[in-house]
Structure 1
Amino acid sequence: TAAADAAAGHRATGLRVVAVATRRTPLLRPLGPADDDDPERDLLLLGFVGMVDPVRESAARAVERFAEQGVAVKVLTGDDTAVAEQVCARAGIAVTGVLDGAALDALNDVALARAVARTTLFTRLGPLQKERVVAALQARGHTVGFLGDGLNDVGALRIADVGIGVDGAVPAARAAADIVLADRSPDVVVSAVEEGRRTLGRATRYLTVTAALNVGNALSVLVASAVLPFLPLLPAQLLLQGVLFGVAALSLSFDRVEPGWTARPRRWDTRGMLWCMAVLGPLASAFDLVTFWAVWRFLGLDTPQEQAVFQAVWFMEGVLSQVLVLLLLRTRAGRAARPVVATVTAVVLAGLAVPFTPLAPLFGMAAPPPAVWPLLAAVVLPFLSCVAATRPLYLRHVLGIRAADPRQEKERIR
């Protein structure tokens, strides 16, 4: 009893305890299973060997940052409950529920899926039990990242949405992981989550705006092709327009992201893209057709002989409107980053300059008359005003961000 109490006291401090004992046996006759059904009888306790894994100083801060990101931290371990609770306390993990391996085996999959929602600490788990916990979390709709370094973690690493190994892990765990961290600090995972959400935000903006503008271009070309005696844009001109827009879009990888975007988990949602395609696509097409009508009506470019000039004007309008829309539909993250402003400016200037350079004949364009500049302003500025009016709806439906109070917006940008 005293030895058990001593071992329990050591475990309560976070030590993994192994008892060391001995007993006398006959020297001439080896003992086998048939001779000794209870090999642990008549033992003389010599003492205990204690082992402890120190908790990194950065662990508590990492747990706090996970909470700020809306990430729930759960601990799955093969250790004793008392030891695991001490580790959680030092790491700043609030334990709201404990489930050990024996109790877990008594639950079916449905009951376990309910239990994992209210349980923070899972102790005395084997490899298959860790897999069941990860699968139960996934069954509740959670995206699960699992960090492990031992043989018992291999199965859970394989089925997790993101299996995370560390540089010192056993080879099987490193092979099963999707990511292997060179730095064992938990801050690396926190930073990776935040950067992943930023990347998703940038990709969402790019793909959504691109899809909507492509719908607008398709509608414009379809309608214009039915009316014009020539192609509204040549394939080479469409390709060059797409390249210029793509260069501008690449700069979004350097842009700021709305702080609220990284504050909670995100999933790719196509409903926002469909909404933007249904609203922004026809709007862009309508102003394209206004440009077509204005060029036809005021510049008199309505014959096949004027095809190169007509296409140059429409090319310039397309580059100008598409690139500026991309800049306009940023999140409420303050001023655009300098690389974004520089790239967008360069792309706009290049797009407007192409018809006036020696490259124009290579793309089937000719320099338009000076009257094109007020015409572009008369079409593009109202279009951008209409896009700006739909911007709050874009932020809400596509990015899930509600518009802020104008005074707060001004103060935050300042």
Structure 2
Amino acid sequence: MPSDPSAFWSLPATALQELLGAKPEGLTDAEAKARLKKFGSNLLREKKETAALLLFLAQFKSPIILLLVFAATLSIYLGEVASAIIILLIILISGTLGFWQERKAADAVSELLAMVQIKATVLRDGKAQDIPQEDVVPGDVIQLRAGDIIPGDSRILESKDLFVNEATLTGETYPAEKMAGVLPEDTGLAGRINCLFLGTSVVSGTATALVVHTGTESEFGKVSSQLKQREPETEFELGVRHFGYLLLEVTLVLVVSIFAVNVYLNRPIVESFLFSLALAVGLTPQLLPAIISINLAHGARKMASHKVIVKRLASIENFGSMNVLCCDKTGTLTEGKVVMHSALDMEGKTSKEVSLYAYLNAFFETGFSNPLDQAILHFGKVEIDPYKKLDEVPYDFIRKRLSIMVSRGEEHIIITKGALANVLEVCTLAQTSSGSGGVVDISVARDAIMQKFQELSAQGFRVLGLSTRKIEANVCLPRDEANMTFLGFLVFFDPPKKGIAATIKNLASLGVSLKVITGDNHLVAESIRKEVGLADGKILTGQDIRLSSDEALQRQVQEASVFAEVEPNQKERIILALRKNGNVVGYMGDGINDASALHAADVGISVESAVDVAKEAADIVLLETDLSVLSEGVIEGRKTFSNTMKYVFMATSANFGNMFSMALLSLFLPFLPLLPTQVLLTNLLTDFPEMTISSDSVDPELVAGPRRWSIRFIRNFMLVFGLLSSFFDFLTFGALLFLLHASVDQFRTGWFMESVVSASLVVLIIRTRRPFFRSTPSNLLSAVTLTVCVAAFLIPYTPLAELFGFTPLPIYFILVIIIIVAFYILLAEIAKRSFYRMVGR
């Protein structure tokens, strides 16, 4: 079959099917597999399934590491074989550790993403089945309904009242109407009303279509490959990048200066170069990307255990920083299992006629399935055999109505249900009493209808209107929703979830304020607000929002706890106004009209049962529509953030202080304080405790409220604890040189022991804001820290000592080092308490 049917919008459907080798009943499984192999997965970018070898090699791509490898190779050429081999071995071990951790993190993320795949409905072997969107191939026959993401550039075979949101492709705000047909070959993209395009979504109606292009061959694929857009950085990613820049700038200045001075002092150039590069390895946070990946992946796995699936790892930090959560009422605060309470006539009396027509409307509706229709169908079985469906005008968010045309004998009837105000606007008459046939002008009945509506709404009921009209035509169009007769009310009840008040209170205790955004009227919203114990606050209506400027809305949204009668396009305005006030905003939505708000929020949250377009837009997907699940996810997000920050604090305290001290001391000593191999070994050993941080426990106060990245805070931390570390380093240098009169090898051995042990033990101090003995680290962190400390003392007494240039130390050397380390730990604890008291965090 041709792989590129040109101008497919201008070909008759049968000719296009023949060209693609397609059939109305769809492809067979065997044909689909063959085409998937030929055309590849239906992806805009091929999955980055990084081969193990490439991931391993990526561990050594740092310019500093490459320079170190080059210098070590040069050393071999100059006869320093043993030192060079040791350097290369240490680099290899460090890279292998990073590879193993990153590989494990990547596998975990792949497993999680597989749980929330977007599916497409295709005909295979004549039967409709849901398959992953990436498996859709040219020639597939797809079935679409409201909420679906279109899985490939397609030609419509048949459709019913189909409207598609093409804003991502054409920039057009309003949905485009689509229908089957043949168009001229020179028709522009926006005019191809018989085509559907990958990445756009169905707003209303249904369709069957033939897929022509997928992946990068689609219109969207061509555009995206040209733009190569990256997702915007989160606040966390930006902070990490700025932190990396801060350390790299300091490192470059320090290392270049040290190398230049050592050369000026006529020290061996290669050894000075290796020493400078080894210092650079110790100073730069080369483990930061791996540590972040490990922490985020570990956090994602923990969140998955609480039924929270993370699609974008970087969103975990924003999730933890979130202080405002916006959500709908239905299914979040309430059970989401809507129950029909009653079918009433205009006067509020139970009406069998209203019940019958409501049942007919819900039974014959074929668009997007919704809980209100299910509630009507479960309200009571109605005899509908005399009725036959003729036509349908699907629900949309502009009309807010759904109309079904049925026939009974020779009589044709349009039945319309929807939001009461939108039903009333197409009515000219109202039926006054069921069965009597009495009708009055709508202007006479309107006040009584609205009074009954307000009474029901104030009791927490959701109320729809129902109207009918007899017509002679065989088809029903939106314009036929006119001159109708109002029949009565459909009354629904969605009870609050058990324990929702406690859940809201728990979120508030975590520093997350809940704001409800609902399309229900303000009376229903006020009733549910009181029932679930939502914080007192102003109620803003859609009308209030419409009349407010952006500046005024920015002030009003902070005070409001409920937004009622909200139109879909107003949700994004609310989110943006909240963000402009400095809030980190989460938005939880599952509907067709939630996609823009999900994109606008700092954290887009959806649920597994959501429509495709909402799941695709979300950063995080809940496997249960439950706020208690979400609060557990917030806690895990904050734990992940806290553990990532622990590594940052470690890199900016003892590690940085040690390397800084060594660099300065090298200017005044007649020998290098540590050999390049010893510097790298120090760096490798102190990396081990840091690699276990993702499993560390987190104190309750660190997850009690939202926390945000602050470079200023990190800079202050680095100054205080880096200088403290340097002070004790110089104290060690002084003790070794002037008190113990150490030889060169003894000096290096003693300093190596003190450096490794102090850097490892201080991890236990700075990992908590409490006194260290009142916060228990994870078993793994404790075990690894203890192992590293023991190894630092034992290595000089093993065969490894000769390889690294160490020498056994007398026992009194060891005692002096232990005393210095003990004083360092004590002062670090005191400094920590003073620092947090000073900064008030």
**Same topology, TM > 0.5:** yes
1:10 is aligned to 456
Cα gap change, 1:202/1:85 in structure 2, threshold over 3 Å: closer, same or farther?
Answer: same
Equivalent position SS for 1:360: helix
Question: Is residue 324 of structure 1 aligned with residue 324 of structure 2?
Answer: no
Q: Deviations over 1:269-299 (max 9, x none)?
A: 2223222222221221122122222222344
Question: Is residue 212 of structure 1 aligned with residue 653 of structure 2?
Answer: yes
Q: Indicate conservation of the 8 Å contact 2:764/2:777, yes or no.
A: no
User: What amino acid maps onto 1:351 in structure 2?
Assistant: A
* Structure 2 Cα separation of the partners of residues 384 and 225 of structure 1: 25
Equivalent position SS for 2:513: coil
The aligned runs of 1:183-222 (5 Å cut-off) are 183-222=624-663
Moved more, 164-173 or 212-221: 212-221
Q: CA deviation at 1:389?
A: 2.4
* Structure 1 Cα separation of the partners of residues 595 and 789 of structure 2: 52
1:40 is aligned to 483
Q: CA deviation at 1:156?
A: 0.8
Q: If each structure's helix is expressed as a fraction of its own residues, which one has the higher value?
A: 1
Task: Compute the TM-score of the two structures, normalised by the length of structure 2.
Answer: 0.44
Equivalent position SS for 1:73: strand
2:604 is aligned to 163
User: What amino acid maps onto 1:182 in structure 2?
Assistant: L
* Structure 1 Cα separation of the partners of residues 477 and 750 of structure 2: 96
Cα gap change, 1:51/1:31 in structure 2, threshold over 3 Å: closer, same or farther?
Answer: closer
Aligned residue pairs: how many?
A: 391
User: What amino acid maps onto 2:727 in structure 1?
Assistant: A
* Structure 2 Cα separation of the partners of residues 233 and 186 of structure 1: 55
* Structure 2 Cα separation of the partners of residues 76 and 236 of structure 1: 61
2:752 is aligned to 315
* Structure 1 Cα separation of the partners of residues 812 and 783 of structure 2: 27
Q: Deviations over 1:358-397 (max 9, x none)?
A: 3333433333333321221232222223223212123335
Aligned with residue 564 of structure 2, among 103, 123, 127: 123
* Structure 2 Cα separation of the partners of residues 276 and 29 of structure 1: 77
Equivalent position SS for 2:811: coil
Q: CA deviation at 1:49?
A: 2.7
The aligned runs of 1:329-368 (5 Å cut-off) are 329=766, 330-332=768-770, 334-339=774-779, 340-368=781-809
Larger Rg: 2
* Structure 2 Cα separation of the partners of residues 54 and 396 of structure 1: 47
Q: Indicate conservation of the 8 Å contact 1:127/1:154, yes or no.
A: no
* Structure 2 Cα separation of the partners of residues 185 and 49 of structure 1: 27
Q: Compute the RMSD of aligned alpha carbons.
A: 2.6
Q: Indicate conservation of the 8 Å contact 1:213/1:277, yes or no.
A: no
1:411 is aligned to none
* Structure 1 Cα separation of the partners of residues 755 and 473 of structure 2: 97
Q: Which runs of 5+ in 2 are unaligned?
A: 1-444
Moved more, 221-230 or 251-260: 251-260
* Structure 2 Cα separation of the partners of residues 252 and 44 of structure 1: 66
Cα gap change, 1:123/1:362 in structure 2, threshold over 3 Å: closer, same or farther?
Answer: farther
Cα gap change, 1:82/1:57 in structure 2, threshold over 3 Å: closer, same or farther?
Answer: same
Q: Deviations over 1:202-247 (max 9, x none)?
A: 3333312321223312331122211233321233323332333232
Cα gap change, 1:6/1:58 in structure 2, threshold over 3 Å: closer, same or farther?
Answer: same
Q: Indicate conservation of the 8 Å contact 1:18/1:49, yes or no.
A: yes
User: What amino acid maps onto 2:505 in structure 1?
Assistant: E
Q: Indicate conservation of the 8 Å contact 2:595/2:614, yes or no.
A: yes
Equivalent position SS for 1:263: coil
Cα gap change, 1:93/1:32 in structure 2, threshold over 3 Å: closer, same or farther?
Answer: closer
Question: Is residue 62 of structure 1 aligned with residue 503 of structure 2?
Answer: yes
Question: Is residue 388 of structure 1 aligned with residue 834 of structure 2?
Answer: no
Equivalent position SS for 2:526: helix
Cα gap change, 1:356/1:105 in structure 2, threshold over 3 Å: closer, same or farther?
Answer: same
Q: Deviations over 1:89-139 (max 9, x none)?
A: 333213411111111011111100000111111112223211010000011
1:181 is aligned to 622
Equivalent position SS for 1:291: helix
Q: CA deviation at 1:44?
A: 5.3
Q: If each structure's strand is expressed as a fraction of its own residues, which one has the higher value?
A: 2
1:244 is aligned to 685
Moved more, 71-80 or 368-377: 368-377
Equivalent position SS for 2:605: strand
Moved more, 352-361 or 145-154: 352-361
Cα gap change, 1:356/1:58 in structure 2, threshold over 3 Å: closer, same or farther?
Answer: farther
Q: CA deviation at 1:140?
A: 0.5
Cα gap change, 1:191/1:29 in structure 2, threshold over 3 Å: closer, same or farther?
Answer: closer
* Structure 1 Cα separation of the partners of residues 611 and 473 of structure 2: 42
Question: Is residue 132 of structure 1 aligned with residue 569 of structure 2?
Answer: no
* Structure 2 Cα separation of the partners of residues 31 and 277 of structure 1: 72
Q: Indicate conservation of the 8 Å contact 2:654/2:762, yes or no.
A: no
Q: CA deviation at 1:198?
A: 2.7
Q: Indicate conservation of the 8 Å contact 1:58/1:185, yes or no.
A: no
Q: CA deviation at 1:265?
A: 2.0
2:817 is aligned to 376
1:410 is aligned to none
Q: Indicate conservation of the 8 Å contact 2:615/2:621, yes or no.
A: yes
* Structure 1 Cα separation of the partners of residues 483 and 524 of structure 2: 25
Q: CA deviation at 1:353?
A: 1.7
Q: Indicate conservation of the 8 Å contact 2:697/2:778, yes or no.
A: no
Task: Compute the TM-score of the two structures, normalised by the length of structure 1.
Answer: 0.85
